[in-house]
Amino acid sequence: MNPAAAQITAVILAGGFGTRIRHLLGDLPKPMAPVAGRPFVEWVVRYLQHQGLRSVVLSTGHLAETVARHFQAQPVPGMRVECVPETRPLGTAGGFLNAARASGIPAPAWLVLNGDSLVLAPLADMIRSLKDPAVGGALLGVRVPDAARYGTLEQDAAGNLTGFQEKRPGAGVVNAGVYLFRESALAKFPVRDPLSFEKEVFPELLHGAVQLKVTVVQAPFLDIGTPESLPQAEDFIQDHIAWF
């Protein structure tokens, strides 16, 4: 089955402490950083809406109630937004699984992305990869001229993920932290707590011969997690407002 975008539920990982920029945010969690008149995580939700999704679960942690209050008071029209707090640190994949299961949503596929970054790329190709029933999931890779700050994705000639490389200089396809999983693939995640996508889930899936596609794009990318990048967010949103 090839799920349509409206059938896919997104889980936004929004539980980080934001230690590097906490002094700039006061009593706000990092995903709630005000950018162009809205919390940054709301721009992520609106991007997903523009891509055809209708259902979002926020995996929250630090100051979870602040995030929940915002979306209760100011819902995004046409979007179902639910918050599931972590009661203890679960890791990236653990937070995703906790949010997906606690939501009770019967989604045929799940999109995972971060609440403190945005990659402005169409999701249609990623979703289309699930048209092949042999494919268990897909990752979004961004082609960059210098991958020194990021881990890179390795793929074969058919576009299947073969592994990850540590940070290294030079051109490469970097891991954007945007993942799509068929529901059946979740049962093949390792049973561990906490659980990391990069260190545990993907190696386990590859070892278990789960086919994962890499969708490579060249796209505007922003991560608000540093004191240098957060001030760039306002112009980033304004310059790309058509994506929202």
Supply the pLDDT for residue 127.
97
Sequence-ordered alpha helix ranges (H) in the chain: 22-25, 40-50, 64-73, 91-103, 124-128, 202-207, 233-239
CA distance 116 to 43: 10
Please provide the DSSP assignment of 102-139 as one string.
HHT---SEEEEEETTEEE---SHHHHHGGGSTTEEEEE
Give the chain's count of helices (H) and strands (E): 7, 13
CA distances to 13, 49, 97, 98 from 102, rounded to whole Å, are: 14, 22, 8, 6
182-211 mean pLDDT: 96
Reading phi first (left if > 0) and then psi (alpha if -120 to 50, else beta), residue 182 is in: beta
Supply the pLDDT for residue 17.
57
Supply the pLDDT for residue 81.
98
Residue 22 pLDDT level (bands cut at 50, 70, 90) = low
Supply the pLDDT for residue 73.
97
Count of domains forming the chain: 1
CA 86, 61, 224 angle in degrees (round to 5)?
Answer: 140
| Phi and psi angles of residue 184, each rounded to the nearest 5 degrees, phi first | -65, -25
DSSP H or E run through 144: strand 135-144
Nearest C-alpha neighbor of 189 from the set 200, 175, 180, 198: 200
Supply the pLDDT for residue 21.
73
Mean of the per-residue pLDDT values for the chain? 93
Domain that holds residue 88: 5-243
Global pTM?
Answer: 0.95
Is residue 164 a contact partner of residue 150, using CB atoms and an 8 Å limit?
Answer: no
Q: What is the pLDDT of residues 87-146, one digit of tens each?
A: 899 999 999 999 999 999 999 999 999 999 999 999 999 999 999 999 999 999 999 999
Max distance between CA atoms of the chain, in angstroms, equals 48
Assess whether pLDDT exceeds 80 at residue 1: no
Supply the pLDDT for residue 148.
87
Residue 19 pLDDT level (bands cut at 50, 70, 90) = low
Q: What is the pLDDT of residues 54-79, one digit of tens each?
A: 999 999 988 899 999 999 999 999 99
Supply the pLDDT for residue 20.
64
Please report, for the domain that includes residue 116, its CATH number: 3.90.550.10
Q: Which residues have CB under 8 Å from 10's CB, separation 6+?
A: 48, 53, 55, 56, 57, 110, 111, 112, 113
